[in-house]
Amino acid sequence: MRTILKIALGAATMLTPAAALAQETVRLTLWHMEQPPHRVERIQELIDAFNAANPDIVVSQEPQNWGEVYAKAPAALAAGQGPDLLFAIPDFTPILKDIGALTSVADFVEELDGKHDFIDTAVEAYSYDGGVWAVPLYNMAMNLWYRKSVLEEAGVEVPQTWEEWRAAAEALSRDGVSGMGLPANKQLYTDQTVYSVMVNGGATEIYNEDGTLRFDNPETVAAYEFYTNLHQFSPADSASWTWGEAEACFSAQSCAMVMQFSVISTYDTQAEGDAEDLGVAAIPSKDGEDHNTISYANAVMLLSSDEARMEASKKFVSFLLEPENYGRFLNMEPGLFMPVTADGAQAESFWSDPMVEKYREQIETVIENSQNGRLFGFTSGLTFPSIAAISAQNIIAETLQSIVVNGQPAAEAVAAGQARMEEVAR
């Protein structure tokens, strides 16, 4: 009986080659906020290529949305159900760092930097408290988009100053068309457009060097007053806009101008697709001198505490940054995602994409404009982790809503905005 039992137990513990392989397979979950179907499809193509080349690793994606992820990610990680890789922006990363979900990837970033040469500012936004907390993946910059023929027909020059911008929006508001499309929703997009106006009016810094807030200042008030004045030429429903509604308004020729990271994809697939007529310019500044914008590198956080999954995660990130793959990754949305590596900026896989070739002039302008990029809370060479709580609450956008929707004077709204920032930053 003992002999029979030993044989039975031995047979039970023997694994077929397929079963053994399944036991050794490392499974990774990727969360990202790139929800449009064509972006999800492109990411899946890259995942499939990686999985095929690495049969011991299986990556799967689970798209999320920016409206929920600030709260959802910490909760999922606390429950042991979080992702292994999570796309991030600089003001989101401190939330996960503060709950102990991140391990510094400084050595890995240094290794990648030696191979691909990161843009310095892309790494700096994730470097503080003695570590590097995410790996930069792609850059984004806000721009002013318009149709050249529409401005020419109205006798309007591309605006350089705030005064010219307002005059252009008013002149272009005719025949059922809104001269300017601007959001006023309590959402990240509005944070971004408002700050793009702020940095062009001298309100770049919202922190003092000692970490106290300086959001409530005359330059900020003036920026909100101008934005509100310009918003009167925006569609009535723009108080509830996110990025997609602005692109749709421009594509439908219902908005003559919009502030957006890129409109290329929707313009090409849902509108005229005439590259010669699509204009893009730096955002006008108060005095027409220095033109700035909101610009920042998106990155990926590596969250697994398991050594095998961490190594597999690094392998997947390395795969994405290889020039032959990197261009295909960036061009999931041509003109929106810009390279953060020197070899990526020269990669044939980036520039040979048919839509990039078609809109090369616009994309080169976007890259040029991004050189003057800023991001709230990351502008003085110092990093203030409390910006994560401020961003998560969309207080910059909330301040605008108080003015546009509730009719509060700009000075009162900005003062209340600073008080809210101080409250959540405690």
pLDDT band at 16, cuts 50/70/90? low
Is 322 a residue whose pLDDT tops 60? yes
pLDDT at position 199 is 96
Question: Does the pLDDT of residue 117 top 70, yes or no?
Answer: yes
Q: Look at 296 and 8; give whichever has higher pLDDT.
A: 296
Residue recorded with tokens 């961490």: 310
Average pLDDT, the chain: 92
Per-residue confidence (pLDDT) for residue 380, from 0 to 100: 65
pLDDT tens profile 138-160: 999 999 999 999 999 999 999 99
Q: What's the pLDDT score for residue 8?
A: 37
pLDDT for 23 equals: 57
CA dist 349 and 369 (Å) reads 22
Lowest mean pLDDT among 95-109, 158-172, 360-374: 360-374
Amino acid identity at 33: M
pLDDT for res 204: 93
325 pLDDT above the threshold of 50? yes
What is the rounded distance in angstroms from the CA atom of residue 80 to the CA atom of residue 74? 10
| pLDDT for position 19 | 46
Residues 6+ apart with CB under 8 A from 28: 57, 58, 59, 60, 84, 85, 304, 309, 312, 313, 316
Report residue 333 CA to chain centroid gap: 12
Cβ contacts of residue 368 below 8 Å, gap of 6+?
none
Q: What is the CATH number of domain 8-140+296-364?
A: 3.40.190.10
Q: Which fold has domain 142-294+373-425?
A: D-Maltodextrin-Binding Protein; domain 2 (3.40.190)
Q: Kindly tell me if the per-residue pLDDT of 9 is higher than 60.
A: no
Q: Please tell me the predicted confidence (pLDDT) of residue 426.
A: 83
Confidence band, pLDDT 50/70/90 cuts, at residue 3: very low
pLDDT for the residue 374: 86
Per-residue pLDDT reduced to its tens digit, 344-378: 999 999 999 999 999 999 999 999 888 888 889 88
Asked whether the CA dihedral 118, 121, 125, 130 is positive or negative, the reply is positive
pLDDT at 262: 95
Say if residue 385's pLDDT is above 90: no
Q: Where are the domains of the chain?
A: 8-140+296-364, 142-294+373-425
Query: What CA–CA distance (Å, rounded) separates 65 from 57?
Result: 26
Contact 264, 340 (CB under 8 A): no
pLDDT band at 26 (very low <50, low <70, confident <90, very high): very high
Handedness of CA 259, 261, 266, 267 (dihedral sign): positive
Instruction: Give mean pLDDT, residues 280-303.
Output: 94
b/e map 120-150, b = 16+ CB within 10 Å: ebbbbbbbbeeebbbbbbbbbbbbbbbbeeb
Which of the four pLDDT bands, split at 50, 70 and 90, describes residue 4? very low
